[in-house]
Structure 1
Amino acid sequence: MISYSAKKTLLYQEIDDDTRKSYFDFTQKKFLHNIDTLYYVIKLKNDWKYDPNALLFKEYMDKFQAQALVTPDMLPVFTSEQLDNIKVPTSEWLMNGVAASKIYRYDLQQPDKFAVFVAPNTPNPETPELIVQLRSQFLWLKGENRAVLESLSAVENLLSCFCLEIKEVKENRIDFAYHTNYIQNPTKYFKHENINKMQQSRFTRGSIEFSFRNQWDVETDYLTLGRKKSNNLFFRIYDKTKEVIQQGYKQFFIKVWYMEKLISYFDMYCIEKLF
Structure 2
Amino acid sequence: MQKKALFKNGLGIIIGALIYAVTINDFLIPHHIGEGGVTGLTAIGYYALAIPPAATNLVLNGLLVIVGFKYLEKQTIWYSVWAVLWISIFLRLPHFIGYHTTQTIIPTIIGGVLMGIAMAIIIHCQGTIAGSTILAKIANRYLGIQNGSAMLFFDLIVAIPSGFIIGFQNMLLTIIELYLSAVVLNKLLAKFGVKRAVMIISDQYATIAQTLSTQFHQGITIIKAQGYYSQNDRPMLYVICTAKQLATLVPVVSTIDQQALVVVEEVRSVQAEQLKQLL
TM above 0.5, yes or no, is no
TM-score (norm 1): 0.28
More helix by share: 2
TM-score (norm 2): 0.28
